[in-house]
Structure 1
Amino acid sequence: MDDRSIEDILDTIGDQHAREVLAAISREPKAAKALAEECDLSLPTVYRRIEMLDEYDLVTDETLVAEDGNHYKVYESNFESTVITLEDDEYKVRIYREENLPDRFSQLWDDLGAE
């Protein structure tokens, strides 16, 4: 993935509140306030978890305009699955995101050709 450790990634995904937020926005995009209510979390906790998830590009956001003209963001999951492999005594993690499904197919095809 990059130079961030597998422990950092797993700690992020392993955080209970982060998983709750991720699960809620995997069903449909939601504003932070709606996430706080649905997950029974404080608004600052929701924003901290969104920030954690965003660090690994596991969420996306879109700014919307309310009828009264106010702007707000809705968050959506950008995470489909994680695969952890052990290669040459080294653990590697690969995060599959919504936008890289064609990349995943290409990687699987390349892996099949390498065997």
Structure 2
Amino acid sequence: MDEDEDAVLALLDDEYARSILAHLTIEPMSVDELCTACEMSDATAYRRLNRLQEEDLVAEQQEMDPDGHHYKRYTATVEAVTVTFADGAYEIAVTRSESDPADRFTELFEGLS
């Protein structure tokens, strides 16, 4: 098992990280929304989101509110994590969601603005 697999397993052992991922499979959410839904502090949410992003399990999107201010919403990029045991070893496989090409273009364009 490599470091990335260790990090994913350690992260999934965390109650807050699992809660964040579960809520983000419903819809993209801001940190404030996640704090309310997952009953955690801002600091806890930001720490977990940073770790989830490092492992490519969560992505951030820039949104604009009606007042013209930018803020971030987060979305889960993982669909499944599978642990397979065979021949005296185990293997971790992460299945990531595939975004729609139109969504990728929109994200790219918004990132340039």
Task: Give the 3-state SS of the residue equivalent to 1:83 in structure 2.
Answer: strand
Long gaps (5+) in structure 2 = 100-113
RMSD: 1.8
1:6 CA displacement: 3.3
Partners of 1:34 and 1:5 lie apart in 2 by 28
| 1:16 corresponds to 2:15 | yes
Q: Number of residue pairs matched? A: 99
Between the aligned partners of 1:58 and 1:5, the Cα distance in structure 2 is: 12
For the pair 1:85 / 2:84, whether they are aligned, the reply is yes
How far 1:60 sits from its partner (Å)?
Answer: 1.1
Question: Counting helix residues as a fraction of each chain, which structure ranks higher?
Answer: 1
TM-score (norm 1): 0.78
Measure the CA separation in 1 of the matches of 2:29 and 2:12: 19
TM-score by length of 2: 0.79
Identity across the alignment (%): 33
Give structure 1 regions of 4+ aligned residues with deviation exceeding 4 angstroms: none
Tell me which residue corresponds to 2:105.
none
